[in-house]
Amino acid sequence: MYNSLRRRGGSKRPAATHARQGAADSHEGSYRDFLGRHASECAEAARGTRRERTEFASRLLERTADSRNLRLAIDHLIREGGNAPGPNGLQLADLDGPERWSLARAYGEAIRAGIYRPGPHRTTVIPKTSGWGTRMLSIQDVEDRVVQRGIVQLLQPFIDPMFAETSYGYRPGRAREHALAAVETLARSSGQWHWILEDVKDSFDQVPHRRLLDSLERLTPSSGFLTLIETVIRNDTGMGLRQGGSLSPLLLNVYLDGHLDRPWKKVHPDVPLVRVADDLLLLCQDRAQSLLTRDALVRRLRSAGMPLRGTPETSIANLAAGESAIWLGYSLTKGKDGLKPRLAESAWRSLEGHLRHTHDGPNAPIHAVETINGWGDQFGPCYPYRDVPRVHAKIAAIARTFAFEEIPSRHDVRTRWERAYATTGRDPTGRR
């Protein structure tokens, strides 16, 4: 079924492969063991010398093309809901086991030969998670999503440990509640309660490809692998990452880590910057420092080609004086024992937007319950400061707007929210 890839076009020049195989490349055990072995080698490489990391990076292209890796990518997309058809109408769930292996082998061969090219994509508009506005989502053919997922599975465990400790978005085990715990720890230990709360405007659209690839090359010095990523992200402008593919969030982190997180810490060690994707929070001692710091942030991001959305009047809050800070859907105030997070209005707009999007998709009632549960899990830190019956009533009212009558019960909401709160006592670094 997948023995021809002519529609992808491109050169037939063979891509470079690595000279030495590692443990993940052995064919022992089940194909499902492939990524576990790779992750173990990533951890070992991270502790090695620069030469050893460079040698390990040279294996990434061949491992991306490995049929086991691409088959695991297919399994992931089917399991996690990445099965919606693209322009060619194919759904992965329509393929039986042998056809899935056939697809994996065919695209692996195309990657090795250097002839893989992404197909066309279609676009749709979905609500932003902030609750304000919409964003353009690119829906690619499922084959191209398989390739992107295959890259992420191998690249993320290798480079994620190299990212700054204070970045949390799009990283395994580092969600918004962990960022909130880290901010509270920093504020309480330093007494820095003048905060700058900003976000990068249209961040995915602003990423310049050449500078991104330069940043990635410093982390993964492998020409063949970088050529594959350049092929995946290429467009007519040389700017922007398509939202909708699993690779774009990881590449945004690569760019902002190299052009914001690490340079900022080096130049401004006394002003911590916590980043969740493109949402930023900086901690200062007073308003004068806040104004100077925000100017420095504007200059730093301008040099990276990325504008901020806010203004000094809207983005600075003094929590020590009783002001509230709106960040990541939380409304944050300073209490006697630390932060008091409550649900911000943007959190409710986000829920409404996601339920509206769910209403237009397949299996809407089932996905509506999943959406509500996932939304509640994100706001576990708010549990002690919110009236659960009122929260449930508001959830029900929003759900009824879209004709969703079957929603989690009040008891389910309370239990799930309480459980989510219980997991937020520490950030991933193990600190209170």
Which of 278, 313, 339 is the last residue in one of the domains?
339
Determine the Cα angle at 173 with ends 169 and 175, to 5°: 40
**What's the pLDDT score for residue 8?**
40
**What's the pLDDT score for residue 280?**
98
**What's the pLDDT score for residue 145?**
94
User: Do residues 223 and 270 share a domain?
Assistant: no
Which of 279, 309, 339 is the last residue in one of the domains?
339
In the structure encoding, which two tokens stand for residue 271, read together? 């002003």
**What's the pLDDT score for residue 304?**
96
In the structure encoding, which two tokens stand for residue 174, read together? 């580092």
Determine the Cα angle at 297 with ends 292 and 300, to 5°: 125
Structural domain of 334: 164-200+251-339
φ and ψ of 245, to 5 deg:
-90, 155
The CA distance from 269 to 266, in Å, is 6
The answer to whether residue 290 sits within a structural domain is yes
**What's the pLDDT score for residue 131?**
54
Contact status, residue 142 vs residue 44, Cβ threshold 8 Å: no
* pLDDT averaged per 10 residues, the chain (length 432): 40 37 70 93 89 93 97 93 77 92 96 93 61 64 94 96 95 92 95 97 95 96 96 95 92 98 97 97 97 97 95 95 96 93 94 87 86 92 90 95 93 92 58 41
Contact status, residue 203 vs residue 278, Cβ threshold 8 Å: yes
Distance of CA 170 to the CA centre of its chain: 2
User: Do residues 367 and 329 share a domain?
Assistant: no
**What's the pLDDT score for residue 17?**
37
The answer to whether residue 26 sits within a structural domain is no
**What's the pLDDT score for residue 125?**
60
User: Do residues 274 and 327 share a domain?
Assistant: yes
User: Do residues 69 and 107 share a domain?
Assistant: yes
Into how many domains does the chain fold? 3
φ and ψ of 122, to 5 deg:
-115, 160
Contact status, residue 77 vs residue 83, Cβ threshold 8 Å: yes
Q: What is the DSSP letter of 134?
A: E
**What's the pLDDT score for residue 100?**
95
User: Do residues 325 and 390 share a domain?
Assistant: no
Contact status, residue 161 vs residue 175, Cβ threshold 8 Å: no
Contact status, residue 68 vs residue 24, Cβ threshold 8 Å: no
The CA distance from 300 to 296, in Å, is 6
**What's the pLDDT score for residue 12?**
37
Say how many CA atoms lie within 13 Å of 403 toward its Cβ: 5
User: Do residues 365 and 217 share a domain?
Assistant: no
* CATH code for position 170: 3.30.70.270
User: Do residues 49 and 158 share a domain?
Assistant: yes
Diameter over CA atoms, the chain: 67
